[in-house]
Structure 1
Amino acid sequence: MSSGSPPDPTDPLTAEVVDLVGTFAARYDREYDAAAAAHHLTGAQARLLTLLAAEPLPMRQIAQRLKCEPSNVTGIVDRLEAQGLAERRADPADRRVKLAAATPVGRATAEHLRASLDFAREPLACLSEADRTTLRDLLRRMISPH
């Protein structure tokens, strides 16, 4: 099999890897949502706040990154604004464009959330640095555009 062709879906190794990735993703989502709730956020609010803590973004770009409709982003930003965690501001490059940005309280909340994600780091503790590097490199190859 060439490296560019998809693996045989009936291959037991492929099936096991798919199941393991699904199990890990489900656990991550469940525990991320619980960590977000501890900060009085939904999972979607926490994900958006994490994006905004890195940089202000236009609503359309947020929708693309989160793979959702712009109207959903508007509602999430509204709720983050109501909590004092985000704000809308004009884009200095184009004043017609509104950017969503984390407030100082929002950035601090995003940092506290990130620090509380022990469940995401715990499974990596049993891996050596070389194993973590290999895993990182494999994940980057898997998610990069082909």
Structure 2
Amino acid sequence: MDCRRGARLAGSVSVADQAWALLLQIGFELVSARFAAAVAELDLAPAQARALHELDLERPVSMRELAERLRSDPSNITGLVDRLEARGLVERRPDPTDRRIKGLALTPAGAQLRERLFARLYSAPPAVTALPERDQRTLRDVLLRVVSKSTGTEDRSGLSKVQPHT
């Protein structure tokens, strides 16, 4: 079975390759479409949505840290933050230990919009909710194991802290 549209592989395709191809299909097609719909509905540019996604509710994040999280050049972050600040979604706060550093904090409006974004991105689509609960648990548990074994990837969803049901 070749899970990749139009792709031709030499030899047999392993189950692991099939599973990975399906995850890529979900990532590229379903997640991309869901993200595009969410940012359009919330009147956000994709970069603004990504920034809101990466900001912490618990503590301000430096511009440099936000740039690292977004895998962006720090010089590109200033304009992005300016636009978020103009919309009243973030505010710059002085760092208590270094006055040269400004931390970025979500405003109440920014936190509310972030929650609306998360609700649209993280609520399960019908393809998942239509599965029997046992299959949903199995899917979650397998994906948690994949995430926990991934190297160099931080799970920022908080789901890795969820204990799978046995």
User: Who is 2:164 aligned against?
Assistant: none
User: Who is 1:21 aligned against?
Assistant: 23
* Mapped pair 1:105 → 2:109: yes
Distance apart, 1:117 and its partner CA? 2.5
Q: Give the 3-state SS of the residue equivalent to 1:117 in structure 2.
A: helix
Unmatched tracts of structure 2, length 5 or more: 1-9, 154-166
Alpha-carbon distance between aligned partners in 2 of 1:136 and 1:63, rounded to the nearest angstrom? 27
Alpha-carbon distance between aligned partners in 2 of 1:19 and 1:134, rounded to the nearest angstrom? 16
Instruction: Say what the alpha-carbon RMSD is for the aligned residues.
Output: 2.2
Distance apart, 1:114 and its partner CA? 1.0
Structure with the bigger RCO (C-alpha within 8 Å, sep 6+) is 1
| TM-score with structure 1 setting the length | 0.80
Q: Among the aligned pairs, what percent are the same residue?
A: 36
| TM-score with structure 2 setting the length | 0.71
- For 1:34, which of 25, 29, 37 is the aligned residue? 37
Aligned residues: 136
Alpha-carbon distance between aligned partners in 1 of 2:137 and 2:20, rounded to the nearest angstrom? 24
Unmatched tracts of structure 1, length 5 or more: 1-8
Structure 1, residues 102-128: CA drift from partner, whole Å, max 9, x if none? 11100011011111226x522443233
Task: Flag as ranges the 4+ runs of structure 1 deviating above 3 A.
Answer: none
Structure 1, residues 17-38: CA drift from partner, whole Å, max 9, x if none? 3422221111212321220121
The answer (yes or no) to whether the contact 2:60–2:104 under 8 Å persists in 1 is yes
Larger strand proportion of the pair: 1
Larger helix proportion of the pair: 1
